[in-house]
Amino acid sequence: MATNPALELLLRANQLKRVPRTGWVMRGVAGAESVADHSFGVAFISLILAEMVEQSVNEAKLLTIALLHDLPESVIGDLPTPAAAYFPAGAKRKAEAGVLSKLLHRLPCAEQWHAWWQEFEDGTSIEGRLVRDADRLDMLIQAHVYEQTTGNCHLEEFWDGSDALAFESTAAQVLYKELMGLRERST
């Protein structure tokens, strides 16, 4: 274990490069992206969405939330959505909050970063809501890319219920609708 809390966190975050996104693995996607790959996608999409909205967005906060949003998975792994049904209500979220607190506790920014992460979980700030939209958009973009590049036809459930109402920002709805049109034209 590193004695420097920043190095300790960096080493833990590095684990995300080796944590595969379970949903893709369960559906037979060879070479599925890692949680770190996904976090990059979420950060980049968040930045794009911030440029598309009229509200003022704190980009440092936005990118911090995007990079932190799945950090607890460096400890607990990427639990597939269907597995959550077998846990008591709120158990996964509580575990993730506890892991994040433990990962950040020795850093001066711990309280602020944890509060921002909570804004993502609760959708209580523009930055948190944009990252939530980016999280969903990244999954759908990745599903489209896998369908196009691998021919995997077992990804339909990622699209089920993904109508534009699931997105909180108009900017994300616009990108989603265009992605759906692109998908329809390519099938």
Q: Which domains does the chain have, with CATH numbers?
A: 5-78+89-186 (1.10.3210.10)
pLDDT of residue 160: 83
pLDDT band at 165 (very low <50, low <70, confident <90, very high): low
pLDDT over 90 at 154, yes or no: no
| For range 155-166, the mean pLDDT | 77
Average pLDDT value over all residues in the chain: 94
pLDDT of residue 156: 85
Q: What is the DSSP string of 39-92?
A: HHHHHHHHHHHHHHSSS---HHHHHHHHHHTTTTHHHH----GGGGGGS-TTHH
| For range 55-73, the mean pLDDT | 98
| For range 106-133, the mean pLDDT | 98
Task: State pTM to two decimals.
Answer: 0.94
pLDDT over 60 at 112, yes or no: yes
Phi and psi at residue 34, to the nearest 5°: -90, 170
Cα separation of 60 and 63, whole Å?
5
Question: C-alpha distances in angstroms, 124 versus 2, 113, 133, 183?
Answer: 34, 14, 13, 32
